[in-house]
Amino acid sequence: MNSIPSVNLKDFTSHNPEIKQKFVDAIGKAYEEIGFVALKGHFLDDTLVDNLYKEVKNFFDLPTETKQKYEIPGIGGQRGYVSFGKESAKGKKEGDLKEFWHFGQYVENDNELKVEYPDNVIVEELPEFNKIGKEAYQMLEKTAKYVLRALALYLGLEETYFDNYIHNGNSILRPIHYPPITEEPKEAVRAAAHGDINLITLLMGAQGKGLQVQNHHGEWIDAIAESDELMINVGDMLSRHTNNKLKSTIHRVTNPPKELWGTSRYSIPFFMHPVSSMDLNVLEECIDENNPKAFDDITAGEFLTERLIELGLIKK
């Protein structure tokens, strides 16, 4: 497959069983073959998207010392600001050429999880920043819920299989700023080749070149979304849970050509995580004589901790 398939979530939410099934088949096939789709018909309206980008740019335009006030020690970068070059891809020494922010879950009716998750960080200088961030978080979470319902059906599970695991899940909304490149990068790129940790990732800001996906032949292909599309990919948790039936695809963000070094790039991924107690044990529906169980049993929380250590965001 040499291009990213496009699907429309309105087909899934239609009351026409044939159109709904066509969506299920199309997204499932795409995730088996390339691990990415471009999704129209999501729950983010244009005004919310515009307001979110405005607030994100306002934050990253703040002076460095102001942003660093919001870099919270001891929580592995799970909330608030993470400064330039702090994160690197698994197996890479060089830090990625980016700075970012994390919004986390807004827990409802669960005191244990309220204690488990760090609090969201409030930016005093920007009164709309947290309000708009919360609204976008919740619309992306709603979109992700319906995508996972379609995938549950594709896997032969009950449609709402994932619902309880993702309610109050440890999901993250990460506005990223890739600043202008001011000198020849030695080995670093804006985001080195990596797979995502989580169940699925919903990416805003994949318009224009930069994001590339590695297909099963090892070729890098451009993943470019239309203005009304989210790019959505499978993460390692879902790949593991489905015994690699649904593929977590390696992807990267390349540095722009030299004439565009002076420009910033913004992208806003939403990493859909389940609650940490979810078992990621391989689903029985995904095991057969040609595809024996490929992974040991593990919970989502244990898997996340392993990966954050590998990324250098938390110390052993």
Q: Helices 17-33 and 129-154, interaxial angle, to 10°?
A: 100
CA gap 222, 2 in Å, rounded = 9
Model confidence at 171: pLDDT above 80: yes
Tens of pLDDT, residue by residue over 5-16, are 999 999 999 989
Query: With a threshold of 0.85, does the pTM exceed it?
Result: yes
Model confidence at 294: pLDDT above 80: yes
| Angle (nearest 5°) at CA 244 between 29 and 310 | 130
Q: What is the mean pLDDT of residues 125-147?
A: 97
Position 315 in a domain: no
Task: Copy the structure tokens of residue 167.
Answer: 């309610």
Q: Which residues pair with 176 in a beta bridge?
A: 100, 267
Q: Helices 46-60 and 129-154, interaxial angle, to 10°?
A: 120
What local confidence, expressed as pLDDT, does residue 215 receive? 83
Position 316 in a domain: no
Number of C-beta neighbours around residue 313 at 10 A: 16
pLDDT-derived band at 90, boundaries 50, 70, 90? low
What local confidence, expressed as pLDDT, does residue 89 receive? 47
* DSSP three-state, residue 185: coil
What local confidence, expressed as pLDDT, does residue 254 receive? 76
**Percent with pLDDT over 90 in the chain:** 66
Position 85 in a domain: yes
Q: What is the mean pLDDT of residues 6-27?
A: 96
Q: What is the mean pLDDT of residues 177-189?
A: 71
Position 41 in a domain: yes
Position 1 in a domain: no
CATH number at residue 52: 2.60.120.330
List the domain range (segments joined by +) for residue 222.
6-310
Say how many domains are in the chain. 1
CA gap 195, 91 in Å, rounded = 12
Query: Which range is least confidently modeled, 62-66, 257-261, 292-296?
Result: 257-261
Q: What is the mean pLDDT of residues 247-265?
A: 79
